[in-house]
Structure 1
Amino acid sequence: MKSGLKEYPLLVWAARDILRRPGRGLLVSACLASVSFLIAVALLFSQAMETTWNQLMVQAPDLIVRRINAGGWAPMPAETAVAAAASVPGALTPTPRLWGVATGPRGPVTVVASPGVIPETILQGLTPPVSGQAVVGRGVVETLQDGRLILVGQERLQLTIVGTFPAQTCLATHDLVWMAPNDARRLLGLLPGEASDLAVSLFHEEEEPAIQADLADAFPWPVHITGRSDGVLRHHQRAVHRGGISVVACVPAILALVWIVAGTAATGSSRQAHWGLLKSLGWTTGDLVRLQIFQAALLGTPALAAGLASAYSVVFYPPAAGIAAWWLTGGQHLPALVLSRSGALIALLEISALVIIPYLAAVFLATVKQVANEPWHLLMADPWN
């Protein structure tokens, strides 16, 4: 083959070689698609969970102050708490919040009855419930039969469902019940004038670590203060941990792919004899290497695309999204999630590089090792061994 031969005929020859050995091509394609799918699901799910959570946390208060005693959490007098927080320089708009946990039809649910607990963007378009009514998350409404919700706390309460939180807020509202303040106080056993905790905003977010000590000293009872950055860091670590474990678990699959590719791309006496014949007809080592790279690209590109597309669907499109949540969390996470797709394209490019580079490297090295020999050496291989 002339060294100046255009690449298009070589690409056609590569496609012809693939069709001559369809079994080998299907094996390599299936392995590549499976590996890319497994890695992409793990990384996309972790990245999407973190991105979605960060978007919600941007709207969260800077600091949350909770009163504690020997038994754990305790309600706080709202007026006293607001006055104490307002006396601290830099602590802005202290807001009492009313929320807690009650028992629903299929387990605990989070009860909310005041601003500041749910981000404003989630509440847009929803009518605030009045006494005897509730707005619920998707996980709660799925358990109801007649549009009525029965909750058990300090009292037994029956509510009429008048709205449902949007599906795209499922990460924050899956088990949420928004009700009127009077109903929440009865359910949670709180007296008028008591609050569950206190939300505090800061003039400068950088003041968060420094102001916590002054804020704690301002209250006449022991308090526990958590910052928004603590929640962001906690969920970041959880996402990195989950994604890292999943990728490490896929390392054997990547190694198996490399071994299969190396074993099928350039080994076998019949392949060596075929290459010896081509070299004796004028093909160069570079031509043969390019031929194998083209074959790898023709097999790998659709396989990689299929694996990534399947992973993208499993992570971002309900009800398929429940598969990823169930698999990566051991069946203990939400059954379906609507996650943010921000940054997904970059993640897909990184996953493509993670899979395709070892794949092409295996093809290249295995081919070079075999075809670098002289034609007579390759022709001596017995194709019937």
Structure 2
Amino acid sequence: MTHSPLRRQLNLIDFTLAAMRRRLGRNAILFVVYVLVIFLLASVMFFSHAIRREASVMLADAPEITIQHLVMGRHDLVPLSYLDKIGKIRGVRSAEGRLWGYYYDRGTKANYTLMVPGKNATNLKLEEGQTILGEGVARLRKAQKGRILALSSPTGKPLVMRIKDILTSDSALVTSDLVLVSEADFRKFFNLQQDVYTDLVLSVRNQREVATIVGKVSYRLPDARIVTRSDVLRTYEAIFSWREGLLLALLGTSIIAFTIFVFDKASGLSGEERREIGILKAIGWDTGDILAMKVWEAALLSGLSFLTGTLTAYAHVFLFDAGLLKPVLQGWGVLYPDFTLPPAIDGLQLATLAFFTIVPFTAATIVPIWRAAITDPEQVMR
């Protein structure tokens, strides 16, 4: 009596599962090692892709063009007169000066970014003596809305402000270290004159004209460094890609060891497996059935390991905030952003990971099984 191809494969799967249960210890060790390696690789891929995507979303509203004044190749304050030179360039919607700087807090041993909100940020409007804190600063200083924040200025005089609000953790990736202050407080804190800014930002009417406007600004301000939004995005991409590559390189030894272990287990047949193949050949199984059974065994083990490792990595990154990877991929410092990444998965990365973990293991089983399957049953059982 012949069986349909589907029924035949179902029977092979059923027999394969029974054979795997008989070698439960060996398969359990292989499964655990397999899952661990896939978990590490998938966690790195998930976290790096999600944080790059989050950074691009956060920076979508960044200024199209930023202009910095250079003196002897170093970043210097920008004179107010520069605004008059570039504000009337055709295609520029608006031009304004920004005030921001770094402050080292000796008490917490962390660097803060003091910044004056832009004119368009009406929801962040501040009066003299008020401040809005980033999530990381508030957490580090144990600050609360309505309380007082005091900072010791570089001139030695303390700046005392009342906390108007605390920024949400949704934007912590780019606002964690922010201390927003009024322009009057900023200039008083750093002892700045009224006619200088940290840098200038331009908003353009047409994104396709950015390169043209950059050329005009370069002509009018030959001592300026011009940074576009796309430059900033490329920098973030390069930083996170470098850190991802560094971590994957550090995991390289583990991956090589896993590869050797997998191929040794997959390509080496135990005496029990050889006797099993000999018995199957003796009772009428053909070579194709034996190969199909072993391929199913390898595919089931590698597929289940990949699924388990991937799901565990997903939970680690998106449910438990990637506690094992954050310090490496996110950066080094005292003030870490505390935020939850929204799920973001690169299908191509996932498919590549599946290809390079499932296919080699499954393929490694074919040659030794084929050699055993074509050998005379009596010789195999001996």
TM-score (norm 2): 0.86
The SS at the match of 2:202 is strand
- Of 148, 155, 158, 2:160 maps to 158
Q: Which residue of 2 aligns with 1:68?
A: 70
Q: Which residue of 2 aligns with 1:98?
A: 99
Q: Which residue of 1 aligns with 2:127?
A: 130
- Residue pair 2:135, 2:338 contacting (<8 A) in 1 also: no
Distance 1:363 1:92 in 2: 65
What is the CA distance between 1:187 and its match in structure 2? 1.8
Distance 2:329 2:60 in 1: 26
The answer to whether 1:168 aligns with 2:165 is: no
Distance 2:220 2:337 in 1: 43
**What's the CA shift string for 1:142-174, capped at 9, x where partnerless?**
112354433233442123333222212111011
Q: Which residue of 1 aligns with 2:380?
A: 378
The answer to whether 1:353 aligns with 2:355 is: yes
CA RMSD of aligned residues (A): 2.9
Structure 2, gaps ≥5 residues long: none
Q: Which deviates the most, 129-138 or 208-217?
A: 208-217
Q: Which residue of 1 aligns with 2:288?
A: 286
Distance 2:369 2:241 in 1: 37
- Of 78, 91, 115, 2:118 maps to 115
Residue identity opposite 1:354 in structure 2: F
Residue identity opposite 1:374 in structure 2: D
Q: Which residue of 2 aligns with 1:195?
A: 197
Closer/same/farther in 2, CA of residues 192 and 216 from structure 1, 3 Å limit: same
Distance 1:280 1:166 in 2: 71
**What's the CA shift string for 1:341-384, capped at 9, x where partnerless?**
3344554343223322222222334433433333233222xxxx
Distance 1:253 1:371 in 2: 33
Distance 1:372 1:322 in 2: 51
- Residue pair 2:93, 2:205 contacting (<8 A) in 1 also: yes
**What's the CA shift string for 1:278-332, capped at 9, x where partnerless?**
11111122222222222223323332222112222332235x3342112446754
Residue identity opposite 2:130 in structure 1: Q
**What's the CA shift string for 1:25-72, capped at 9, x where partnerless?**
111111111111111122222212221121122211111111232493
The SS at the match of 2:165 is strand
Residue identity opposite 2:132 in structure 1: V
Q: Which residue of 1 aligns with 2:233?
A: 232
Distance 1:56 1:50 in 2: 10
Closer/same/farther in 2, CA of residues 340 and 209 from structure 1, 3 Å limit: farther
Closer/same/farther in 2, CA of residues 96 and 271 from structure 1, 3 Å limit: same
Structure 1, gaps ≥5 residues long: 381-385
- Residue pair 2:277, 2:373 contacting (<8 A) in 1 also: yes
The answer to whether 1:141 aligns with 2:143 is: no
**What's the CA shift string for 1:64-120, capped at 9, x where partnerless?**
111232493333343x2221112333333112212211233422101121217xxx8
Closer/same/farther in 2, CA of residues 279 and 255 from structure 1, 3 Å limit: farther
Q: Which residue of 1 aligns with 2:260?
A: 259
Closer/same/farther in 2, CA of residues 377 and 253 from structure 1, 3 Å limit: farther
Q: Which residue of 2 aligns with 1:311?
A: 313
Distance 2:292 2:216 in 1: 69
- Residue pair 2:115, 2:178 contacting (<8 A) in 1 also: yes
Q: Structure 2 matches for 1:190-229, cutoff 5 A?
A: 190-219=192-221, 222-229=223-230
- Residue pair 2:173, 2:339 contacting (<8 A) in 1 also: yes
Residue identity opposite 2:67 in structure 1: V
The SS at the match of 1:225 is strand
Q: Which deviates the most, 97-106 or 58-67?
A: 97-106
**What's the CA shift string for 1:186-225, capped at 9, x where partnerless?**
2232233432211112344344444334213324x83221
Closer/same/farther in 2, CA of residues 145 and 211 from structure 1, 3 Å limit: closer
TM-score (norm 1): 0.85
Residue identity opposite 2:294 in structure 1: Q
- Of 22, 25, 28, 2:24 maps to 22
The SS at the match of 1:321 is coil
Q: Which residue of 2 aligns with 1:40?
A: 42
Distance 2:127 2:133 in 1: 13
**What's the CA shift string for 1:261-282, capped at 9, x where partnerless?**
3333451222111111111111
- Of 13, 16, 24, 2:15 maps to 13
Distance 2:256 2:63 in 1: 46
Distance 1:174 1:305 in 2: 35
Closer/same/farther in 2, CA of residues 263 and 56 from structure 1, 3 Å limit: same
What is the CA distance between 1:249 and its match in structure 2? 4.0
- Residue pair 1:258, 1:362 contacting (<8 A) in 2 also: no
Distance 2:39 2:194 in 1: 54
The SS at the match of 2:336 is coil
The answer to whether 1:49 aligns with 2:51 is: yes
Closer/same/farther in 2, CA of residues 151 and 360 from structure 1, 3 Å limit: farther
